[in-house]
C-alpha cells in the first residue's frame, strides 16, 4: 500500500535556537520515512525571546515556496491584541494555530483564549491543541473543556493532539464523539479531530501512550474520518516515526481508513488539493 502522507504536528525552529529542530532536519526525516508533506508549527514567542526573530514571520518566510510544508502560527495570549495576531498570521499565509494550554500556561476557557477561538473561526484557521498531562495545573486544561469550545464556536475546526493522553483518553473521546452530529447533517464534515501524535511508543513519553485496544476503540467510535496522524518532530525522530506508521498499518484498518488518517482528512480540512 502506498500513501501520499501528509502529517501534522512538526515543531520547527531557526538553527540558532534549536539546531536539531530545523526545517532541513524535518525534511530529512520526511524523506527517510516516505512522508510527502507536513504541517509545521512556529515556535512560541517566548522560545525566541531575545533573538529579535518574529516567530510567525520567520516560519512563513522559511517555508515560502516549499510545496511540501504548510505552516501553523502561534499566539501570545499575554498580549491584548490576540485578534490582530491571528489576522497577521492568516495574512502571512499560515493555515492554522498551534495552542498549548500547558506550555503557554493558559486556561482553555480564559478570555484571551476565547478571543483566539473567535478569530480562528472567523478567519477559517484550524486549531491544533495539546491535550493531556504536561506538567501544568490540570484545572486549566481539563480535557472536557474542549467540548465547551466546540459548543461556543460551532464552525471552528480543531484537533486534540495525543487524544487526551493516557490519563484523559476517555474525556477526549467523549469530546470527539459528542460533536458528531446526530442525526448526520448532509454536507457537514468532521470538525473535532483526534491527533494521533506521540501515542505509539510505550517506552517514550508513556503518559501519552495509547494501547492497541484503545486505538481500535477510538477508530470504532470516532471513525477514521476524525483522526489525523502527527509527528511531534523533533521530539520524535526516524525510529519513533517508523514505529508509529507501522503500528497504524498493523492494527487491521482498511486501506481507505489508513488513507484518511495519513493525509486525506488533513488535506480536506485545510483545503489542500
Place of cell 502527527: 230
Which range has the worst mean pLDDT, 79-93, 185-199, 256-270?
185-199
pLDDT the model gives residue 17:
97
Q: What percent of the chain has pLDDT over 90?
A: 95
Place of cell 508549527: 41
Distances (CA, A) of 271 to 68, 95, 125, 214, 268: 15, 9, 11, 30, 5
Model pLDDT for residues 13-69, shown as the tens digit of each residue: 999 999 999 999 999 999 999 999 999 999 999 999 999 999 999 999 999 999 999
Kindly report whether the peptide bond that precedes residue 234 is cis, defined as omega within 30 degrees of 0: yes
User: Is-contact 184 226, C-beta < 8 A?
Assistant: no
pLDDT band for 193, please (50, 70, 90 cuts).
very high
CATH code, residues 6-269: 3.20.20.140
Question: Which sequence spans correspond to the domains of the chain?
Answer: 6-269
Model pLDDT for residues 217-237, shown as the tens digit of each residue: 999 999 999 999 999 999 999
The β-bridge relationship of strands 192-196 and 227-233 is parallel
Closest-CA residue to 96 (of 193, 212, 206): 193
Amino acid at each position: 500500500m502506498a500513501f501520499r502522507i501528509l502529517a501534522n504536528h512538526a515543531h520547527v525552529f531557526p538553527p540558532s535556537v534549536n539546531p536539531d529542530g530545523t526545517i532541513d532536519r524535518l525534511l530529512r526525516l520526511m524523506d527517510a520515512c516516505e512522508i510527502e508533506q507536513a504541517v509545521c508549527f512556529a515556535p512560541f514567542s517566548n522560545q525566541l525571546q531575545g533573538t529579535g526573530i518574529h516567530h510567525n514571520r520567520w516560519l512563513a518566510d522559511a517555508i515560502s515556496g516549499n510545496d511540501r510544508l504548510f505552516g501553523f502560527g502561534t499566539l501570545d495570549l499575554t498580549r491584548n491584541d490576540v485578534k490582530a495576531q491571528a489576522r497577521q498570521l492568516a495574512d502571512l499565509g499560515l493555515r492554522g494555530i498551534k495552542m498549548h494550554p500547558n506550555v503557554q500556561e493558559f486556561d482553555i476557557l480564559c478570555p484571551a483564549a476565547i478571543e483566539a477561538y473567535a478569530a480562528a473561526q472567523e478567519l477559517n484557521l484550524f486549531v491544533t491543541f495539546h491535550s493531556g498531562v504536561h506538567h501544568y495545573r490540570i484545572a486549566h486544561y481539563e480535557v472536557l473543556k474542549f467540548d465547551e469550545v466546540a459548543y461556543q464556536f460551532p464552525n471552528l475546526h480543531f484537533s486534540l493532539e495525543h487524544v487526551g493522553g493516557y490519563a484523559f483518553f476517555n474525556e477526549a473521546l467523549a469530546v470527539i464523539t459528542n460533536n458528531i452530529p446526530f442525526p448526520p447533517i448532509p454536507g457537514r464534515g468532521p470538525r473535532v479531530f483526534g491527533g494521533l501524535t506521540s501515542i505509539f511508543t510505550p517506552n517514550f513519553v508513556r503518559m501519552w501512550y495509547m494501547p492497541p485496544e484503545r486505538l481500535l476503540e477510538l477508530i470504532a467510535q470516532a471513525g477514521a474520518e476524525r483522526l489525523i496522524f502527527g509527528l511531534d518532530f523533533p521530539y520524535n525522530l526516524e525510529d519513533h516515526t517508523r514505529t508509529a506508521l507501522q503500528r497504524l498499518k498493523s492494527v487491521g484498518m482498511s486501506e481507505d481508513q489508513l488513507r484518511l488518517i495519513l493525509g486525506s482528512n488533513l488535506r480536506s480540512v485545510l483545503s489542500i488539493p
